Amino acid sequence: MSAGGKKTACVTGGNGYIASALIKMLLEKGYTVKTTVRNPDDMSKNSHLKELKALSPLEVFRADLDEEGSFDEALAGCDYAFLVAAPMNLRCENQEQELIQPAVRGTLNVMRSCVKAGTVKRVILTSSMASTVSLQLQADGHVFDEDCWSDVEFLVANKPPMWGYPVSKVLLEKEACKFAAEYGMSLVTVCPVLTVGAAPARKIHTSVPASLSLLSGDEAAFGVLKGTEMSTGVVPMVHVADLCRAEMFVAEEAAAAGRYICCSVNTTIAEIARVLGDKCPQYGVKTNLLSGELLEKPRACLSSSKLVREGFVYKYKTVDEIYGDVVEYGKALGILPN
Ligand SMILES: NC(=O)c1ccc[n+]([C@@H]2O[C@H](COP(=O)([O-])OP(=O)(O)OC[C@H]3O[C@@H](n4cnc5c(N)ncnc54)[C@H](OP(=O)(O)O)[C@@H]3O)[C@@H](O)[C@H]2O)c1
């Protein structure tokens, strides 16, 4: 707890999409925030952090997941540690060495810094739906909940596209859990689905381009939506503001424990196309992307019942609401023309 009774939170990877939104929300709620970036001098990635300093105390530290002990200073004196930074080079050549191993090692590296700090009351680990949904077979109507784990053996044996990402998330969650049990740490894991909405960060490579791909016509980004629907039978979504509220909820609720899927809408590409077609006639949905097999209704769903049962209330509950501010954000980022 910092001077004046304010709670202090560390958020790793402050130039990232989700972390930037979480930092803003924590500052707005009166937290003192410490964040890390790999290169504090790179203003093309960090200018939003300078602006956020106007809200409440925010300190920026240099830290790299690959460097043992580099998070020590950022975590010193913190009440909460939000582990958001993670390797996101999902298309790298050597998935084992460039993605899986660094993700697991980096998570444990930050957790060791939490132990050294001696003040961290809870670690909130941001994992992904990817740790949960990559299964070999699933029947129609399948409900994915916190008891589901992606099938690492199947993924390693068959190496479907970007197989390293779900494997990294399963392994880092399990290793983090073991570490927390060994050191008596309180660890809560959030598994977000495709996250959509405006955030302070100004360079975004992950879900925002994917969510806008039907308007931008970016085929590679559309591949994320298509791949999700084809492999899981659903496109699950959450607004970034709801995700950040959920992260804070599980940090502050004393009884929160284990994993939490964070998902407010289970939809399909066809439904997203209909909503965007009505909402954004100026761009028009790129119908060439819609060729081939598309689902009319989701064949599966990701259940956020645990989070809701424990008292969390989503604010953005429809595709239309989730897409409320992301089109403007996409324009500001240069993903969509003005
Ligand atoms: N966006 C989604 O829809 C979604 C859904 C489910 C889960 N998630 C999870 O949420 C987290 C954040 O995702 P995001 O969408 O916000 O991605 P993002 O914008 O790419 O943020 C990733 C952050 O991790 C940092 N990072 C990567 N490698 C690092 C390293 N070796 N050392 C220190 N920092 C490193 C990046 O810093 P640099 O800029 O220096 O690379 C960046 O700040 C990830 O764990 C992701 O798996 C995201």
**Could you state, in order of their start, the residue ranges of all structural domains in the chain?**
8-203+237-265+301-318
Percent of the chain with pLDDT over 90: 92
Give the dihedral of Cα atoms 156, 159, 163, 166; nearest 10 deg: -30
CA of 33 to the centre of ligand 1 (A): 18
Examine the pLDDT at 304 and tell me if it is beyond 90. yes
Q: Which residue has the higher pLDDT, 140 or 266?
A: 266
Examine the pLDDT at 327 and tell me if it is beyond 70. yes
Phi, psi torsion values for 262, nearest 5 degrees: -115, 105
Quickly state the pLDDT bin for 138 (edges 50, 70, 90).
confident
**Ligand 1 contact via 66 beta carbon (within 6 Å):** yes
Pocket test for ligand 1, best of 11, 25, 35, 38 (most atoms within 8 A of CB): 38
pLDDT of amino acid 137 = 67
Report angle CA 326, 86, 104 to the nearest 5 degrees.
Answer: 150
Distance of alpha carbon 272 from alpha carbon 41, whole angstroms: 39
CA of 85 to the centre of ligand 1 (A): 5
pLDDT of amino acid 5 = 76
pLDDT of amino acid 205 = 87
Which amino acid is residue 310, in one-letter code? Answer: E
Q: What is the mean pLDDT of the chain?
A: 95
**Ligand 1 contact via 107 beta carbon (within 6 Å):** no
Q: Extract the tokens encoding 136.
A: 């070999």
Which secondary-structure segment (H or E) carries 209?
helix 207-211
Phi, psi torsion values for 119, nearest 5 degrees: -115, -10
Distance of alpha carbon 61 from alpha carbon 148, whole angstroms: 36
The phi-psi region of residue 281 (left if phi > 0; otherwise alpha if psi is between -120 and 50; otherwise beta) is: alpha
CATH code, 8-203+237-265+301-318: 3.40.50.720
- Upper half-sphere CA count for residue 299 (Cβ side, 13 Å): 13
Nearest-CA residue for ligand 1 atom 18 is 16
**Ligand 1 contact via 297 beta carbon (within 6 Å):** no
Those residues whose C-beta lies under 8 Å from the C-beta of residue 10, and which sit 6 or more positions away, are 33, 34, 35, 36, 71, 74, 75, 78, 80, 81, 82
**Ligand 1 contact via 196 beta carbon (within 6 Å):** no
**Ligand 1 contact via 145 beta carbon (within 6 Å):** no
pLDDT digits (tens, 9 = 90+) for 168-203: 999 999 999 999 999 999 999 999 999 999 999 999
Quickly state the pLDDT bin for 292 (edges 50, 70, 90).
confident
pLDDT digits (tens, 9 = 90+) for 216-261: 999 999 999 999 999 999 999 999 999 999 999 999 999 999 999 9
Smallest Cα–Cα separation from 327: which of 225, 215, 202, 226?
Answer: 215
Say what angle helices 101-117 and 164-183 make with each other, to 10 degrees. 20
Distance of alpha carbon 130 from alpha carbon 110, whole angstroms: 21
Quickly state the pLDDT bin for 54 (edges 50, 70, 90).
very high
Examine the pLDDT at 2 and tell me if it is beyond 70. no
CA of 102 to the centre of ligand 1 (A): 13
pLDDT of amino acid 336 = 96
**Ligand 1 contact via 85 beta carbon (within 6 Å):** yes
Which secondary-structure segment (H or E) carries 96?
none
